[in-house]
Homo-oligomer: A and B are copies of this chain.
Amino acid sequence: MSGVRAAPRGRIDKRQAILDAAFTVFARQGYANACVQEIAAEAGVAKPTVYNHLDNKETLFREAMAAAATTATARNLAAVDLLRAPGDDLRAAFEEVARQLLRCSADERSRALWRLLNAELTSFPDLLDVVWGEGASRVTEALADRIARLALAGRLRVADPSRAAEQLSGLLMGPIDSRSRLGTRTVSAAEIDELAVAAVDTFLAAFGPR
């Protein structure tokens, strides 16, 4: 039995593998339809090992969601940060941010995160704080910060930065799930670009400099 060694890597990073696998399976089947057996298989691990790392299916779900939310938020914040140094061409800067935010939203795992949050909100009310509170709402706030600075510098005409930020993300997110048919269709890079340009165009028509 000593021969067949190759895959099963080392030690405690199995926990991460389990959480990744869990999110994948939950995303594919939803919470109730996913079974722990299958998650274990996806992670290349035995079922008792899963229970060795995480108490039960519920905490497995919560932890997997939290992990996914953390990475998604990081990507979004990085995109917004581009507005710290907008350069001369304000429109180009906003368009680039818009493109990146749309790419994040169109991403497979992001859509799954969003779907699962909506789906299980009644069963797991606490997910709202983890995914929304420390996720999406922070992104909007960061965007509001950037907009406020630009307004102060006289480069935007904005009275309420938070509202402007909310509206910009509405302009971006609304059309995207119309185009992706709620994530069942992949949106081409060309379409993303087009949506980004259109959203920024409207945004600047309303809030841009004279």
Footprint of B on A, CB under 8 Å?
A: 28-33, 114-115, 117-123, 125, 128, 132, 136-137, 140, 163, 166-167, 169-175, 178, 181-184, 198-199, 202-203, 205-207
Interfacial chain B residues near A199, Cβ < 8 Å: 167
A28 touches B175 (CB 8 A): no
Q: Write the chain B residue with the least CB distance to A169.
A: B174
Would you mind naming 8 contact pairs between A and B with Cβ atoms under 8 Å apart? A30-B122, A32-B32, A33-B123, A128-B181, A136-B178, A163-B198, A166-B178, A167-B198
A123-B33, A206-B206 in contact; A128/B182 too (CB < 8 A)? yes
A119 touches B169 (CB 8 A): no
Q: Write the chain B residue with the least CB distance to A168.
A: B174
A167-B171, A167-B175, A174-B169 in contact; A119/B118 too (CB < 8 A)? yes
Q: CA–CA, A178 to B136, complex, Å?
A: 9
Contact residue among B30, B119, B140, B172 (Cβ-Cβ distance under 8 Å from A115): B119
B121 touches A115 (CB 8 A): yes
A202 touches B32 (CB 8 A): no
A118 touches B115 (CB 8 A): yes
B120 touches A118 (CB 8 A): no
Q: CA–CA, A179 to B120, complex, Å?
A: 19
In the A-B complex, the 3 residue pairs with the closest CB atoms: A170-B174, A119-B119, A32-B32
A123-B30, A128-B182 in contact; A172/B175 too (CB < 8 A)? no
Interfacial chain B residues near A181, Cβ < 8 Å: 128, 132
Contact residue among B32, B114, B132 (Cβ-Cβ distance under 8 Å from A33): B32
Q: CA–CA, A171 to B169, complex, Å?
A: 8
A166-B175, A167-B202 in contact; A120/B30 too (CB < 8 A)? yes
Q: CA–CA, A32 to B34, complex, Å?
A: 11
Interfacial chain B residues near A184, Cβ < 8 Å: 121, 125, 128
Min C-beta distance of A165 to chain B, whole Å: 10
B30 touches A119 (CB 8 A): yes
Q: CA–CA, A193 to B115, complex, Å?
A: 28
